[in-house]
Amino acid sequence: MSNKLTTLELFLEPSDSRRLASLCGPFDDNLKQLERRLGVELSYRNNQFSIVGEPHHALGVQELLKSLYTETAPVRGQIPDLEPDQVHLAIQEARILDANETDRFGKEIYVKTKRGVIKPRNPNQSQYIANIVNHDITFGIGPAGTGKTYLAVAAAVDALERQEVRRILLTRPAVEAGEKLGFLPGDLSQKVDPYLRPLYDALFEMLGFERVEKLIERNVIEVAPLAYMRGRTLNDAFIILDESQNTTTEQMKMFLTRIGFNSRAVITGDITQIDLPRGVRSGLRHAIEVLGKVNDISFNFFQSKDVVRHPVVASIVEAYEAYDQEQHKIKAAKEAEARAQAEAAKADDNASD
């Protein structure tokens, strides 16, 4: 993809200071949203606007400004206020961010930490990051060690640092992994923190312990169990649902319907490690079937080759996959044999009659 920039000039007619103020928003917030979301630089003097960016984006923003300006036309003598929500929807409908621009976006999420720079390590991870940037809702599905949660937290931190969102919300269902821990002492935070520890660990590594604590105190970062999401609408937020294979179908639907304006959600999970009670269907499995063809939702499926932990982890994942496939074949063969025997017995009964 070309990195050449172009500069476009735009005159908005008729020139009206009140309409221009509505278009720009308080403290130019609407223009800043366009800059953050679409990767351009905007400047203006009176009704003359200058747009600097990649040609495709600059042309898109030019048309978008014209469209938004028409929405500020007087209604019964009053100039309507152009709200951030309207700008967000206009950006979504314009589809200026082409989903095919994976190279640029795949390399854009770099977060500096004490351990260096976080960046995708393989094509699947690059596509995952690109989808997070380009879609309102992104699913990351695959085995442990593929970077699903870690990269999602990195993307959330990056969005917060760029002021694309105002807060980060991390959540996961509080389901025990095959164990019954019984009564846990302490207050609510102490009871649920063990379930949310992997999310804390990723944040501490990227931002440092002290800064994370300050951001949590200011509610810029919120870590909460999934049950506390009911009834909320989350605007201007980057939301991560971890371990989503342990949600029920009702919980998954509840979570997905919490997402508000200018918010982005990433749902991660491993459908081979479901800890729900027997007979309870996984909300993640159900979502894959129901939402597979919905626009603006992306699904990313990681494999054992994408594991970025110790090499033995990839071997372990492959061994379990091979075992499961062999057991599936054995089960299918037994079921086929049982059906054949049943049909033979039925044929014998008909013949004797």
Low-confidence ranges of the chain (pLDDT < 70): 1-3, 92, 95, 97-116, 174-195, 308-315, 317-318, 321, 351-353
Q: Are residues 30 and 135 in the same domain?
A: no
pLDDT of residue 141: 92
Residue 250 within any structural domain of the chain: yes
DSSP per position, 78-106: BPPP--HHHHHHHHHHHT-S-TT-HHHHH
User: How many helices and strands, by DSSP H and E, does the chain display?
Assistant: 12, 11
Residue 140 within any structural domain of the chain: yes
Residue numbers of the domain that contains 275: 102-309
pLDDT digits (tens, 9 = 90+) for 90-135: 886 776 755 444 444 444 556 666 556 777 777 888 888 888 888 8
Q: Are residues 83 and 122 in the same domain?
A: no
Q: Are residues 232 and 187 in the same domain?
A: yes
pLDDT of residue 109: 59
Interstrand relation of 6-11 and 48-53 (parallel, antiparallel or unpaired) = antiparallel
**Per-residue b or e along 257-295, where b marks 16 or more CB atoms closer than 10 Å to that residue's CB:** ebbebbbbbbbbbbeeebeeeeeeebbbbbbbeeeeeee
List of residues 6+ apart from 268 with CB closer than 8 A: 139, 140, 141, 148, 149, 152, 240, 241, 242, 243, 244
pLDDT of residue 144: 80
Domain count, the chain: 3
Full-prediction pTM beyond 0.85? no
Distances (CA, A) of 235 to 28, 135, 232, 260, 265: 19, 16, 10, 4, 11
Q: Are residues 87 and 116 in the same domain?
A: no
Q: Using alpha carbons, select from 264, 256, 270 the residue that is nearest to residue 198.
A: 270
